[in-house]
Structure 1
Amino acid sequence: MPVSLTTPAFGHATLADCEREQIHLAGSIQPHGILLAVKEPDNIVIQASTNAAAFLNTSSVVGRPLRDLGGDVALQILPHLNGPLHLAPMTLRCTAGSPPRRVDCTIHRPSNGGLIVELEPATRTTNIAPALDGAFHRITSASSLLGLCDETATIFREIAGYDRVMVYRFDEEGHGEVLSERRRPDLEAFLGNRYPASDIPQIARRLYERNRVRLLVDVNYMPVPLQPRISPLNGRDLDMSLSCLRSMSPIHQKYLQNMGVGATLVCSLMVSGRLWGLIACHHYEPRFVPFDIRAAGEALAETCAIRIAALESFAQSQSELVVRRLEQRLVEAVSRDGEWQAALFDGSQSLLQPLGASGAALLFEGQVTTAGDVPSTQRIRDLAAWLDRRRQTPGAAPEELTATSSLTLDEPSFADIRAIASGLIAAPLSASEGEYLLWFRPEQIRTLTWGGDPLKAVIIGDDPSDLSPRRSFAKWHQLVEGKSEPWSAAELASARAVSETVADVALQLRSVRMVIAQDQLATISAQVLRSEQPVIIADVEGRILLMNEAFEQQLRASHPHIPHLRDLGSYCTAPAEFRANLDDLMRNKRSWRGELTLTGGTSPQRPLMVRADPVIAPHDRVLGFVLIFSDLTERKTAEAARARFQEEIDGARRPSLRLDQSASLIYKELAASTVENAQLAALEVTHGAQAGSMPEMLESIRNSTARTLEILEHLVWYRSQSEE
């Protein structure tokens, strides 16, 4: 049926448009607490949940100052009003009402102005620090992703006490899978179940990124509306994105009711700035969890996310090690045999294993070389022709990888090879047509178990009450054909690293051939000139025979002809050092590996790695020199990020709140574990991540660590002042 493109208000969404429901503008709360919207600086209440008067035992709330509502709320929140309340709420223990009673008060600033004050009945605090310290060590000791998820689910069930705890991961298409589960023995197992992306709309995922902990005390609650509904400050609905009491979407509420769930606690897993998954806790009767347990859950989720990032980077570093060994073998083969193709396929597992591929093929200079299970040579050439046509499409990036787990669904003309080539990674090795390194995966006919039909969407009906428990959550099995196991991000990174190595070696050998075989100059020089990697080739006297466009772009926009290698010194920030290294290369026939910085060009002061080698013929006769350059900008940025990370992490553990001696000692012990975990993760990231992504990953770890330390500090401070 046609889908409306309107944006439904909260509570007015249908199954056809729930993806766009404005769930952050709920206009109501759960009934176990109250919400007050306050106008500053006089702290007058301008909106309140309709249960506020009864909660505070007063006749009216709206229009009155906070200080007149009993207790010390107005006084206690005062020192915290200058903090970053627009980013993260602050919770403290205080008193409110007439007569005053102890409450947990959470404050934050919504995006559309004012101050939101939320009050919940206070409960007896527990000393969570010992359990947290042990939990941190259990999480950071996990050596595999599944082991980490199992340990995390166990810890959450121990600390939070829910009937079921699941660790839930999103795939590239947004579908979720239950990776780990801890539950009451009498409950049906959800482990391994998949849930369609439509179960969690994008707007809900964005809220999970901002508000990392969501508590639903009673699935069957009756929402308590705000009065007035529209904010007097701006004439709009109150933004409740960071509210801890915000009402759930009626469709989500019905979804949980259909599952038989009575209460939930959900913590977000943010890895490298993206929503990697969720820790979902289900209880089968109403359950209230106090602030200290929620804060502990958030700290544990952040710690788990840091460990996930470290484990994923470690797996990548292992693949990088295999790639470096492969590169060494290729270079040795070029030096020994004058060619590298045979060495690439010598011990084919080093080519297949990093990608989990079942076969590979090299198309280079008209030849096809294969390993493992691959299509026929003619069908491999057909694949190359198809890839060439894709690269010639306007707007296509010529050097990008092509990766698919459903080749025969994407291009039905290859249906005859789906048994061995449903999965394909294709890496171009040059700008020339028909030169690729290909990896294959076979079709994997498998049955996926879904927690409901993933195609449910709008065919059920527009009224949320039409969402049937049987049709929505009964296990639904899908037979998947024509697809391979998906390629992971780590495997794609390995493909890029291997193909770049092969392309680099191929370029180097072609550059050498230009000097050795002048009769091949026209053909090979065109390939070198089109390369995106800067290269210079010179004769034995240092006269420049070729300078490709990629290197020209590193120089000033307009410059005179450069006849000799020595003339390049005037374009370097350290010309004397350049000329000294060049003299050593030319006089002593020693290879030069080093760094230099060019001035001018499109990016002034661009650092480059130089690899300069003499071309030596039999009888130790030097024919010329090859200089290949690589951009070091990303590596320098990564080095700066590593240094900045260490400086900032050293300063992050200093508390911002005033802690007494006992609380300070507890905080320091917890902070030490957290910082140790962060430094371990950073070490593994710097050894495993690509240079371009390293600053972002380090910043993500720093942010998660800072957030964890803030939570721990707040938790320790909260407990210490609660015991007073």
Structure 2
Amino acid sequence: MTDVDRDISFLIPGAPVDLTNCEREPIHIPGSVQPRGVMIAVSDPDWIVQQVSANLADLTGVPWQRAIGRPLAEVLGVAAAGAVVRSASAFGDLRERNPVEITLDVDGDPVPVDALLHRALIEPGHPVADGHGEPVADASTVPPQSSLVVELEPARGPRPFSFPNTYQAVRSTIGDLNRASSLQELYDITAEAVRRLTGFDRVMVYRYDADYNGEVVAEAKQEDLNSFLGLHYPASDIPAQARALYEKNWIRLISDVDYTPVPLHPVDHPVSGRPLDLTYSALRSVSPIHVEYLHNMGVRASMSISLLREDKLWGLIACHHYSGPHAPPYATRAAAEFLGSTLSVRLIDRASDDEHARALESRSTLAWLTAAALDEDRPLTDTLLGTPNLLGLLPADGVVVHLQGHRGALGAALPPGLTERITDWAARRSEDVVASDALPVAEPELGVPVEPACGVLVLPLPEGQFVLWFRGEAVRHVDWGGDPSNKAIAEQEGDDVRLSPRKSFERWRETVRGRSEPWTASDVEAATELRVHLLEALYARSRSIVRAAETLQRSLLSDPPEPPHLEVAVRYVPAAREAQVGGDWYDVFEQPDGSTMLIIGDVVGHDTEAAATMGQLRGLLRGIAFDNAAGPAEVLTRLDTAIEGLHLTTMATVLVGRLEQSPADCDAGIMRLRWASAGHLPPLVAAPDGTQRLLEANRPGLLLGVDAALPRTEQETVIEDGSTLLLYTDGLVERRDQVFDDGVEELAEALADLRRLPVGPLCDRLLERLLPDGAEDDVALVAVRIRPQEC
């Protein structure tokens, strides 16, 4: 490390010396490397040496002073340099092709070496110099450039396996991970496999919580070592900037904690005038504070492998060796990194499956409660506390409901007067959802006992109405590896103050009291959506049931989004009958990847029951389709499965479409529509020149709710810019005096005639032209115009 890293010059003047100082340590630019290998930075693409580590001669026989400013071939030899240059000149990520296996000629002896390559971006910071330090350009006129960083590690002994065969080395473990039935089994398999592969004395799977405190959730170790399983470690043990490096460089090895750092020469890169960024370096020297931390644990060598979820660090595979230095070769490390990546993918898959199942269950309960709320003959309170009920929506020890003068409760009971104190406090906060998992601590003036209302979630509603869930205290015992509150890490050395990590790692038990189980983001989301439906139900119940159902349906058929490349309009026209509701619906929403989902459907029936069923289907379908890479056919298949699994007795037609565009499609002025139909009418497309197409499926699909076992098919078509896509229900084209084919032909002609209108007026004119006397049946419309855009 540089002298900057050995003192506390990165501290804020006058600030106390504690663990927060570590978070300001510039660990990505240490100016030195570990001595197990050699680092060379060369200009790209002329391959002139710009920086080298001081131990260059130990591996190549060439003193570092003679290497600066010379071609790479004069330092490594023509053959070895040629192999490096060929790999560096190929397309793609250099790190995916590591290592480059080369052989150096040192005094006539062949030395096998693994060359690890990556590029570092260099921002000119002062007049750019040549290899001899002479200025050749003004930095302000020089664009950013890159240096090729070449790290050389001796490949001592027989290679355990070549890098291309990494998968073979872990093949059986991958199979075990695929068959794992629980998260704990995934953790245990990975820990044991990494230890068997790398030979470390101890391998741990280390998982972070929301505050980046870590917990050892799996361990494989020598029998004579004490166990760390279940121990927690504070977030300060791994500062934020170290976690940021773990997200970029997924593996880090310290082969000997007693190493002496090898400086780079020159200290600053000749182009940037600043230390070389070693974020992606395998040899990067580590913080002396971390080295001392490892010494305090009795560790002689360590390795860590990042575990990521959506590019964010959620944990580590931490490897410790106690008997001496330990340096697994690069191919072994790569295989271990591959196992870490595989574990990350499996964890994401399992978490996504669990979240999907929870979301389906929650949405089903919510949809049922929403639909049941339409029954005016039953008080809302009885509906919410029946079967299913609010404790099925949000797990809690109890729930109290006060709506329209009716009060009811389920589960544990609250002391007299406590309900009013809590709900009055929540109402004063003027928030839609008020939640706390430590109410006695957060609001001591309320006098709330930890049992049974340590945690509360409240929906304040108009006129003093409310829904209140509550949870009792959840006493937890947390075993820490040392006292996490001990943050004093400054030591006096003569006249100097030196940072020093903590030394105690004895098991230290903390009892956490005064908190309930926390309310999760999904809990708050479900409560928020319930509040919307309750407000709609309360408003609707002040009028007739017909008016109530109509309001609910219109609240579900919300205005669509309008991305820059699309012009979207939607319409819903109820049939001319007393109950202005039915089972027709539409939905339009954007996916996180930029595609747009288009949905239109029609539940069998024309009454409030059909509207309630429509609400269930719409909620389930949106939950299944959103943030899901599955195609429309798979979405319908999953919806069929959900209908069968949740025992919903319904039948409906529905069409699911997905509008998407690749960069190549954008250049070509087109979009792609993928769609699947469950017995619904085919979409219509009108091109800018007026030609029309009816997008009929190769095989008509069965209605939803008929047979979940039958597979769904998917279609794809190209739609050019300026075209108009129309989705509709049968009320627009079928009447007592007109058959379907004639109605579709009339609709296609009208769409072509009106294609130049904006899509909103176009929908209105279509309805006027095709239904001059009003609708005999419900009608839903979705019209989409493809706008040309700059790519």
TM-score, L = length of structure 1: 0.70
* Residue number in structure 2 paired with 1:214: 252
Gaps of 5+ in 1: 1-7, 392-397, 537-549, 556-570, 652-724
Bigger drift between 361-370 and 15-24 goes to: 361-370
How is 1:393-432 mapped onto 2 (pairs within 5 angstroms)? Answer: 398-399=431-432, 401-427=433-459, 432=462
Q: Is the 1:334–1:509 contact (alpha carbons within 8 Å) kept by the matching residues of 2? A: no
How is 1:381-530 mapped onto 2 (pairs within 5 angstroms)? Answer: 381-391=420-430, 398-399=431-432, 401-427=433-459, 432=462, 434-458=464-488, 461=491, 463-464=497-498, 466-467=500-501, 469=503, 472-487=504-519, 489=520, 492-497=521-526, 500-501=529-530, 503-504=532-533, 507-508=536-537, 510-511=539-540, 513-516=542-545
Q: Structure 1 residue 341 and structure 2 residue 381: aligned?
A: yes
Q: Which amino acid aligns with 1:37?
A: A
Q: Structure 1 residue 291 and structure 2 residue 330: aligned?
A: yes
* Residue number in structure 1 paired with 2:118: 108
**Structure of larger gyration radius:** 2
* Residue number in structure 2 paired with 1:117: 150
Q: Judging by fraction of residues, say which structure has more strand.
A: 2
Matched residues, number: 575
Q: Is the 2:479–2:507 contact (alpha carbons within 8 Å) kept by the matching residues of 1? A: yes
For the residues of structure 1 that align with 2:633 and 2:361, how far apart are their CA atoms? 30
For the residues of structure 1 that align with 2:500 and 2:627, how far apart are their CA atoms? 53
Q: Secondary structure at the match of 2:84?
A: helix
Given the alignment, which residue of 74, 79, 101 partners 2:81?
A: 74
How is 1:108-507 mapped onto 2 (pairs within 5 angstroms)? Answer: 108-112=118-122, 113-123=146-156, 124-127=158-161, 128-284=166-322, 285-327=324-366, 329-330=368-369, 331-332=371-372, 334-335=374-375, 337-347=377-387, 351-352=390-391, 355-365=394-404, 367-376=406-415, 378-391=417-430, 398-399=431-432, 401-427=433-459, 432=462, 434-458=464-488, 461=491, 463-464=497-498, 466-467=500-501, 469=503, 472-487=504-519, 489=520, 492-497=521-526, 500-501=529-530, 503-504=532-533, 507=536
Cα 1:615–1:633, aligned 2, differ >3 Å: closer, same or farther?
Answer: closer
* Residue number in structure 2 paired with 1:23: 27
Q: Is the 2:41–2:49 contact (alpha carbons within 8 Å) kept by the matching residues of 1? A: yes
How is 1:546-585 mapped onto 2 (pairs within 5 angstroms)? Answer: 573=569, 582-583=574-575
Q: Structure 1 residue 96 and structure 2 residue 104: aligned?
A: yes
Q: Is the 1:607–1:631 contact (alpha carbons within 8 Å) kept by the matching residues of 2? A: no
For the residues of structure 2 that align with 1:70 and 1:86, how far apart are their CA atoms? 19
Cα 1:24–1:616, aligned 2, differ >3 Å: closer, same or farther?
Answer: closer
**Following TM superposition, by how much is the alpha carbon of 1:307 offset from its aligned partner in structure 2, in angstroms?**
1.3
Q: Is the 1:231–1:238 contact (alpha carbons within 8 Å) kept by the matching residues of 2? A: yes
Q: Is the 2:7–2:498 contact (alpha carbons within 8 Å) kept by the matching residues of 1? A: no
Q: Secondary structure at the match of 1:41?
A: coil
Cα 1:366–1:202, aligned 2, differ >3 Å: closer, same or farther?
Answer: farther
**Following TM superposition, by how much is the alpha carbon of 1:26 offset from its aligned partner in structure 2, in angstroms?**
0.9
Cα 1:154–1:643, aligned 2, differ >3 Å: closer, same or farther?
Answer: farther
For the residues of structure 1 that align with 2:542 and 2:630, how far apart are their CA atoms? 40
Given the alignment, which residue of 28, 47, 53 partners 2:51?
A: 47
**Following TM superposition, by how much is the alpha carbon of 1:236 offset from its aligned partner in structure 2, in angstroms?**
0.4
**Cα displacement string for residues 194-245 of structure 1 (whole angstroms, at most 9, x for unaligned residues):** 1111111100000000001111101111111111111111100110000000
**Following TM superposition, by how much is the alpha carbon of 1:438 offset from its aligned partner in structure 2, in angstroms?**
3.3
Q: Is the 2:114–2:152 contact (alpha carbons within 8 Å) kept by the matching residues of 1? A: yes
For the residues of structure 2 that align with 1:572 and 1:41, how far apart are their CA atoms? 50
For the residues of structure 2 that align with 1:218 and 1:251, how far apart are their CA atoms? 15
**Following TM superposition, by how much is the alpha carbon of 1:106 offset from its aligned partner in structure 2, in angstroms?**
0.6
Bigger drift between 195-204 and 308-317 goes to: 308-317
Q: Which amino acid aligns with 2:346?
A: R
Q: Is the 1:86–1:111 contact (alpha carbons within 8 Å) kept by the matching residues of 2? A: no
Gaps of 5+ in 2: 9-16, 123-145, 636-657, 663-791
Q: Is the 1:168–1:176 contact (alpha carbons within 8 Å) kept by the matching residues of 2? A: yes
Q: Secondary structure at the match of 2:327?
A: coil
Cα RMSD of the aligned pairs, angstroms, is: 4.2
**Cα displacement string for residues 329-362 of structure 1 (whole angstroms, at most 9, x for unaligned residues):** 42246448444432322357x6436654222233
Give the structure, 1 or 2, with the largest relative contact order (CA under 8 Å, sep 6 or more): 1
Cα 1:167–1:590, aligned 2, differ >3 Å: closer, same or farther?
Answer: same
**Following TM superposition, by how much is the alpha carbon of 1:275 offset from its aligned partner in structure 2, in angstroms?**
0.9
For the residues of structure 2 that align with 1:214 and 1:590, how far apart are their CA atoms? 62
**Cα displacement string for residues 537-591 of structure 1 (whole angstroms, at most 9, x for unaligned residues):** xxxxxxxxxxxxx968989xxxxxxxxxxxxxxx98577xx55xx34x7499872
For the residues of structure 2 that align with 1:270 and 1:135, how far apart are their CA atoms? 19
Q: Is the 2:400–2:410 contact (alpha carbons within 8 Å) kept by the matching residues of 1? A: yes
For the residues of structure 1 that align with 2:435 and 2:546, how far apart are their CA atoms? 37
For the residues of structure 2 that align with 1:354 and 1:460, how far apart are their CA atoms? 51
Q: Judging by fraction of residues, say which structure has more helix.
A: 1
For the residues of structure 1 that align with 2:214 and 2:415, how far apart are their CA atoms? 37
Percent of aligned positions that are identical: 33
Cα 1:120–1:572, aligned 2, differ >3 Å: closer, same or farther?
Answer: closer
**Following TM superposition, by how much is the alpha carbon of 1:378 offset from its aligned partner in structure 2, in angstroms?**
2.9
Bigger drift between 606-615 and 51-60 goes to: 606-615
Cα 1:340–1:97, aligned 2, differ >3 Å: closer, same or farther?
Answer: farther
TM-score, L = length of structure 2: 0.64
Cα 1:384–1:534, aligned 2, differ >3 Å: closer, same or farther?
Answer: farther
**Cα displacement string for residues 263-303 of structure 1 (whole angstroms, at most 9, x for unaligned residues):** 11111110123211111111112110111111111111111
Q: Is the 1:217–1:287 contact (alpha carbons within 8 Å) kept by the matching residues of 2? A: yes
